[in-house]
Amino acid sequence: MSAGVNGTRRDFSGSARANERLRSVIPGGAHTYAKGVDQYPEGMAPVIARGKGAHVWDVDGNRYVEYGSGLRSVSLGHAHPRVNAAAAAAIELGTNFARPSLIEAEAAEKLLSILPRAEMVKFAKNGSDATTGAVRLARAVTGRDHVAICRDQPFFSVDGWFIGVSAMPAGVPKSTRSQTLTFGYGDLEGTRELFETYAGQIACIVLEGATTIEPPAGYFEGLRRLCDEHGVLLVLDEMITGFRWSIGGAQEVYGIEPDLSAFGKALGNGFAVSALAGKREYMKLGGMDHSDERVFLLSTTHGAETHALAAAMAVIDVYREEDAIGVLHARGELLRQRATAAIAAAGVSDHMQVLGRASNLIFTTLDADGERSQPFRTLFLQELVRRGVIAPSFVVSAALTEEDVEDTVTAVHEACLVYRRALDEGVSRYLEGRPVQPALRPYA
């Protein structure tokens, strides 16, 4: 049992046993590092049994309002009826064949219909496949080896070109690491200097349209010009911004003109599907309708499973017909305003903030000195979980109701009252176990 300061009690004994089972057969106890037990307060890492809408239930029967569902992939809510029905119908017709299915053309056409700057697409199962496919294609097109990635953005791929310069580079050859360069978001002059220093060596730049801050005025127009001047392809990672900023992604919102774009996460509302989309002149090199050397672009056994493509098509239909983007922004903005007020009422505004686009909110946790603090993040998570809220972020789903927001705000206010006491008396007095750790770190 875990008792909160307000007397809230939750039984995590089943989750504790399940976590031990997971760790005995899966390195780290989860197939995604960001879902690891080390990302949650000690003894309070719920193992999920089921989900519906914006709620999940753990193996002990505890119910939670959940944020950041599926690492931001479940944007419409768990077990969405239209998406599940489309996937189930496709399953009844068979999921994978020796030749393409017509649904592959239908899904490609539907996705391209919302991406006016893309002309061809290849589907895969995860975002890393799509971004790595873009990098490989850019290297083939340009004949160059170096890749430049935005250092201010957290993650692009599990493959060596990115992991080699992350906090966990073990296993990636030094030669691979040396081929990845970095640039600052919004810094056109710094990017220009990088292009000039490595003139004729950079195949592409990879970045997201935005994270918690908006791009400076004229940034993407200037970046497009720089890429054109230096023969560098512009690769836009739309894993998070796609289907959260707009149905057409960040490129629609900011008028970005990428050469290649990578989509995933919310594209399938939890079903495994990603996509590399781009200009025909580049994408066609992965096919047969040209006389140039062919590029092994993407070739995955399960990349075009029918049920995942059916789910993606249903997601696009829901976004078009039900204004999912409008709902995401409205719920997120309500949460921002109400949570910010609750934080202020508890007297911790100088130590906690809710940041980002309304559809993609995060929170900061600062200590008494105003420094980012993992112990205080842990304390906040601890008190939220006790009150029935799982919130590694405040990223909403369209299934979140105003009542869910109010329940969350109540939990936030009570958690912040504990936070205030911890600031005054020391966090160790209120923290029950070890602090949470960054997901990407070199040592345990």
Does 313 fall in a domain? no
Whether residue 68 is found in the same domain as residue 154 = no
**Pairing state of beta strands 120-124 and 274-278?**
antiparallel
Task: Kindly state whether residues 48 and 174 are assigned to the same domain.
Answer: no
End-to-end CA distance of the chain: give it in Å, rounded: 26
Instruction: Decide if 268 contacts 311 (C-beta within 8 A).
Output: yes
Residues 208 and 166 in one domain: yes
Residue 376, Cβ density class (10 Å: 0-12 exposed, 13-18 middle, ≥19 buried): buried
Residue 317 three-state SS: helix
Amino acid at 250: A
CA 241 → CA 23, 185, 229, 264, 336, distances in Å? 32, 16, 27, 10, 18
- By residue count, the chain amounts to 444
9 and 72 in a common domain = yes
SS3 5: coil
Q: Report whether pLDDT(14) > 90.
A: yes
Is residue 311 within 8 A of residue 275, CB to CB? The reply is no
Closest residue by Cα to residue 6 from 345, 352, 426, 387: 387
CA dist 161 → 1, 128, 149, 321 (Å): 44, 11, 9, 39
323-337: per-residue pLDDT in tens?
A: 999 999 999 999 999
Does residue 405 sit in the same domain as residue 268?
no
Residue 344 sits at the vertex; the CA angle it makes with 340 and 350, to the nearest 5 degrees, is 95
**Residue 292 forms part of a structural domain:** yes
Domain assignment present for 316: no
Starting at the edge strand found earlier in the chain, the sheet holding 120-124 runs 120-124, 274-278, 260-263, 233-237, 202-208, 146-150, 180-183
Q: How far apart (Å, rounded) are the C-alpha atoms in residues 401 and 357?
A: 18
pLDDT value at residue 212: 94
Q: Output the six-digit token pair for 195.
A: 């292009």
pLDDT of residue 228: 98
Averaged over 59-73, what is the pLDDT? 97
Nearest to 383 by CA among 421, 412, 415: 415
Q: Which of 253, 270, 304 is the last residue of a domain?
A: 304
What per-residue confidence (pLDDT) applies to 444?
A: 85
**Across 189-213, average pLDDT:** 98
- Please give the pLDDT value at position 9: 76
- Tell me, yes or no, whether 141 lies in a domain: yes
Give the mean pLDDT of 133-144: 98
246 and 382 within one domain: no
- Geometric angle at alpha carbon 148, from 180 and 199, rounded to 5°: 100
CB burial of 313-337 (b: ≥16 within 10 Å; e: otherwise) equals bbbbebbeeeebbebbbbbbebbbe
* Residue at which a domain ends, from 270, 304, 338: 304
One domain, residues 237 and 359: no
Residues 228 and 187 in one domain: yes
Of the given ranges (1-10, 106-115, 173-182, 417-426), which has the lowest mean pLDDT? Answer: 1-10
CA angle 153, 284, 255 (to 5 degrees): 40
What is the structure's pLDDT at 62?
97
Q: Give the span between the Cα atoms of 275 and 130, in whole angstroms.
A: 6
Look at residue 3 in the predicted model and tell me its pLDDT: 46
Residue 52 · residue 405 · CB < 8 Å: no
The torsion of the CA quartet 397, 398, 403, 404, rounded to 10 degrees, works out to -10
Give me the CATH number covering residue 40: 3.90.1150.10
Name the band, by pLDDT with cuts 50, 70 and 90, for residue 8: low
Mean pLDDT of the 178-190 span:
98
Rounded Cα distance, 273 and 270, in Å:
8
**Tens digits of residue pLDDT in 342-386:** 999 999 999 999 999 999 999 999 999 999 999 999 999 999 999
Q: What is the CATH number of the domain that holds 106?
A: 3.40.640.10
Q: Is residue 438 part of a domain?
A: no
Examine the domain organization and report whether 423 and 359 are in the same domain: yes
Backbone angles phi, psi at 154, to 5 degrees: -80, -35
CB 53 within 8 A of CB 81: no
Assigned domain for 318 exists = no
Distance CA 72, CA 241 (A): 10
| Contact yes or no for 262/274 (Cβ under 8 A) | yes
Distances (CA, A) of 169 to 178, 180, 443: 12, 12, 11
Instruction: For residues 47 and 133, state if they share a domain.
Output: no
pLDDT above 90: residue 105: yes
Query: Please, how many CA atoms are within 13 Å of residue 1, restricted to the half-sphere of its CB?
Result: 5
Clarify whether residues 269 and 151 are in a common domain: yes
- The parent domain of residue 155 ranges over 96-304
In the prediction, which pLDDT does 158 show? 96
Number of domains present in the structure of the chain: 2
**Distances, alpha carbon 286 to alpha carbons 6, 112, 131, 264, in Å:** 59, 17, 15, 20
Could you tell me the sign of the dihedral formed by the alpha carbons of 186, 192, 198, 204, in that order? positive
Which residue in this structure is represented by tokens 């006491």?
421
Q: Which of 271, 304, 337 is the last residue of a domain?
A: 304
Whole-prediction pTM value? Answer: 0.95
Tell me: do 157 and 220 sit in the same domain: yes
The reply to whether 362 falls in a domain is yes
In the predicted structure, residue 4 carries a pLDDT above the cut 50: no
Is the residue at 311 inside a domain? no
With beta carbons less than 8 A apart as the criterion, state whether 392 and 381 touch.
yes
